């Protein structure tokens, strides 16, 4: 089940909420996080699968996994053109997140990355959705 919290002032999406019997996941953009800085707010885990640096263009997803017995906070660093609306799918114990031209899978029980796949595309990827035998990615092709 997915839900979005809306900012009342301008109706823009502020975060994505996913939920199942095991956990509740909240994904938002952390605009204050700076790669390679010591002044960031604390996270339990920082995952930077593309090894982006301070000088790169990037976006930071703040991922909160509430397992009801504990909460795990993750800074997930990805492509600057990543979108936070429709960016994730929660299935059992796996959280799949689209970071524009890459997909990251996390184990929800401890937040560790179990899969990372980059793909070549000529456009921006806006959302990921679960199908019966896989996923579909909504994208815009550039000519």
Question: What pLDDT is stored for residue 107 in this prediction?
Answer: 97
Percent of the chain whose pLDDT exceeds 90: 50
Q: Is 86 left (phi over 0), alpha (psi -120 to 50) or beta?
A: left
Task: Kindly provide the residue ranges of all beta strands, DSSP E only, lying in the chain, ordered along the sequence.
Answer: 2-6, 13-19, 24-29, 45-47, 58-66, 71-79, 88-91, 94-98, 102-107, 113-118, 123-131, 134-141
The CB density around residue 108, as the number of other CB atoms within 10 Å, is 22
Nearest of 6, 36, 16 to residue 96 by alpha carbon: 16
Of 103 and 20, the one with more pLDDT: 20
Q: Say if residues 34 and 103 touch (Cβ distance below 8 Å).
A: no
Q: List, for residues 10-47, the tens digit of each pLDDT value.
A: 444 468 899 999 999 999 999 999 999 988 889 999 99
Q: Say if residues 62 and 28 touch (Cβ distance below 8 Å).
A: yes
What is the pTM (predicted TM-score) of this model?
A: 0.80
């Amino acid at each position: 089940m997915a839900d979005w919290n809306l900012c009342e002032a301008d109706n823009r999406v502020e975060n994505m909420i996913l939920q199942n019997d095991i956990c509740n996941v909240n994904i938002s953009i952390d605009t204050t996080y700076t790669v390679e800085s010591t002044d960031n707010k604390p996270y339990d885990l920082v995952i930077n699968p593309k090894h982006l640096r301070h000088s790169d263009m990037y976006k930071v997803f703040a991922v909160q996994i509430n397992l009801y017995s504990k909460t795990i906070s993750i800074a997930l660093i990805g492509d600057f053109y990543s979108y936070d609306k429709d960016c994730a799918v929660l299935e059992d114990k796996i959280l799949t997140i689209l970071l524009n031209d890459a997909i990251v899978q996390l184990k929800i029980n401890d937040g560790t990355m179990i899969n990372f796949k980059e793909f070549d595309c000529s456009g921006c990827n806006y959302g990921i959705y679960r199908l019966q035998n896989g996923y579909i990615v909504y994208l815009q092709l550039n000519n």
